[in-house]
Amino acid sequence: MPEPIVVFRTLSQVEASVVRGLLDAHGIPAFIVAGGPRSVFPVSVSRLGEMSVAVPGDHADEARAVIEDYRHEEDGQRVVPMFDQFAALEQAIGYRFGDRGLLEHALTHSSHAREDVTGGVADNESLEFLGDAVLGFVVADLLFREFPDFDEGRKSKIKAALVSKVALARIGERLGIGEHLLLGRGEEKTGGRGKHAVVADACEALIAAIYLDGGVEPVREFITRELRPLVDQARRTGLVTSITGDFKSSLQEWLQGRDAPAPQYRVVGEHGPAHHRHFESARRAQRLGREVLVQSG
């Protein structure tokens, strides 16, 4: 068999697969060769983590001609157009990536990376780590600027709610991140696209990808926009209860912050089997001479 020759290089596994499929459609045998892992730092490093498409040497000229015929101009560069599977997600997040490979990396679950036979596909766990730090910084800066009169403890509680896995999962669901995840077959079968932990982790990785691709300002704009409703809720009430769901603690903190007496609880109903009983309680709190009744399950 003639010595293989590389005819196409890219940082995107998806683009490499498209080119291989294009060559296969023209009867040219092709295969993908993976390079090393991609850096997680916001600098350009050539030939790092690239995917190469190679063909037998006697098909190299024909393969190059097929690829060249398929190229077109985009932003002053000659590129191979491919099915833009992430266009809807980019529209939803309000940001278009210069390096589409970063977005692909952010959406690559470990199950997909494990099943890749080339061994060159990296999962998004390193991006999750970076995204967690970027999210924490942006939220801390946001709360510092918007709530200068809140003490450290109050800001810390709001921050914990805003950066929680629950908050991230809800952002991910709203953006439809689950629909775009690159999952392994096993994770796909067990409903990975709808798992809150998987979606939340991908949301963190997406934050890191935006930061690496565009810097601080685009990621600050994205995070601020997505968390704005909760920040506004904190401004109105001093709390973020719609994320945590811990209304009991929130009520007590709200009353303590206003020097009001602690609430009194009265069981008003119960149901369910003895080993898994559910109770309903009414909470009475005295404030400014009025009684407030809050129902909970």
CA Rg value for the chain: 26
For 4-23, b where at least 16 C-beta lie within 10 A, e where not — what string?
beebbbbbbbbbbbbbbebb
Return phi, psi of residue 86, to 5°: -105, 5
Pick the closest to residue 237 from 118, 157, 182 (CA basis): 157
- Annotated catalytic residue, options 99, 132, 141, 221: 132
Distance CA 55, CA 169 (A): 42
Q: Is 232 designated active site?
A: no
Q: Is 132 designated active site?
A: yes
- Annotated catalytic residue, options 104, 128, 204, 213: 204
Distance CA 131, CA 204 (A): 5
Distance CA 11, CA 48 (A): 8
Pick the closest to residue 126 from 36, 213, 34, 39 (CA basis): 39
Task: Give the residue numbers marked as catalytic.
Answer: 132, 204
